[in-house]
Chain A
């Protein structure tokens, strides 16, 4: 009994964790490149979820596969991310980190209120994208759509790691935060790489929205704040600015959440924040974080 409960928790925790990891990736990539916490990032998930809410029925009615809606959501989120960067963040980029922070907070509030005006305050139910059965193995029930989303999440994380390590654009994304002048000198268009980073980070939020909606098919205008907060904690826990750190932090926060809720409901927030505090005390830059005070 305890073993099956554990397996169940592990699967749900991985599912939750993969969602946080994908969101944390968005925080960490943007932080990595311009040293800014994009507090509106959580709200991109809400935008992704609303896009799914409206486009899944469209796809189904048009006789197209429902997963095509995810592509649309990725494109919409990437576009919103790029617009937010160009219209709101770029103009204050040279004005200091406090201005950037306040702009990001304002953007978050703006997006949530805009969503309330456009879509109303009552929750909407998102249609399922994958109609997969739940199989039972012993006393463990395995919803196949959850397994599928975990697989998608992990695959995307591996893909990101490959992209950043091996491709030309990925290398440019690593080079820009290390030295903007040197990046320009070797031929990197720094502004374009920053925009690309926002596009990718925001696009990942759409995938996170898909994963979230396959588990909790509810969309509200403020769903992004809570998830954004937890994913932000995940990013800091794993080491902000470090891609594998975001993945590890996300999975950890997801596992902690599910297991604590399973075995000691009510303690979940205390345990999450407690872990964060302990880890930051031991290693202020996060589990995989690099010490930023290196020699230049």
Chain B
């Protein structure tokens, strides 16, 4: 406690001491007598701030692995003639050497890499790494709670994610390789071990790993929702919550309602794989043998998968949207434009995301009349999305913009979300999707709108809240290099893919040698691969900056370095058990009082002046 006492008491401290809410937390001597050792502090921690760091760093490790895989398969696509012999020490038998000594990526392993890349980035990095990190860090801090509703369940949530990670990682070292049938794992390929090597033990472990992962998401989600509903501090009404919290809240609800459906789908798949049932299998002839299974429907799996799969993409993007809204408001020194419209569009997106799943199945043979229904709702999602984009732009417009790494990444997010959202509208029309489905156009669409955009939101968040996480700043110059390089690089990778896709080049092909029509895309593919390598190196730069700054970054001396009005910046720089040394803050106003009444910003703990109205109340 001594380190905290050394800081002079700030204006906010006085307000919290005098007017804050006394929850008798320190009467129980939790904060003081509390003893911790290395294991309970860093490993089996129940403190939300530490768990947040655990999610972040595990997510970063996975991001390096997942992105590294994409570099390997891009080398195959961009330079199919070159020898990959130099990768043999890393990949071993997956590089086959022919009589001339040329090393080739084994085709099965190419599919395994694509599959693992998708699974890892979607689930481990952009779900656990993104919402795990920021929901944990910000929910208690921004609503004025001591911790999550259940620290124990929160700890379990991380360790289930860890367990799931271990299982998936282990599956990569199987002699038959990890699962290789695409991140969506459609049966019959995924249901029949005899159908491919990856569908053997690799697929079993994939299912086990993702089942643990769902447990992690559910435990986390239950905690996030309960905490937001039950543990808001005095005065923190729902309409005074920062948009980050709204986004995490709705994200958790989406996860809670959609992941169980995925598990149902997985269970039926497990039964088909292990117990001989025929939920998804019917009249199959494989490996020279006709199977006994009759009466199953592979489309059933697609429904169950995409009922999660589509909300999942919003589970990924909503937290990024929340972070971006907050970062933009702070760094433009302006209230977020249209706060309530932002909240309602989060809710609308959340609701609509449950009734559009079949737009992934236009080409699966579903009834075209049914497709119409899904076309309409899919296109309607563009409306709340556009409202959000408009509001971000209106927030930036005329603002007193600080051009630093967090705000640049937030602006980059908006750019990417627009570019990728527009192509979604093409794909949402089932007639156009006949041409586009399963081509590189889809790959370009979802990488820009989800993959890169969500990473940008996450980067904005990491650069912005790094002082809160580690008490130091990240290097801003390196951050700007990281930003410009990644923005230009990401467009260089994915923009050309739209053209290849429109020309009909299908995704998930190992090689296009046998297709005369696609030969003239060789140069574009090379260009994309080179851009991907450059972008990958820039991410390494980010990782270096991150770890360097943890120990050597510029030290944060003021509690509220960004002059932000939200509660997390009223806590001491050093992390303490229970977040606030004395009372918890009482909230008197909405979170976006910037440039109000001639003041640069007004903290949420500041009581309303005489005759002053809470700007959030209308």
Tell me whether A and B are bound partners: no
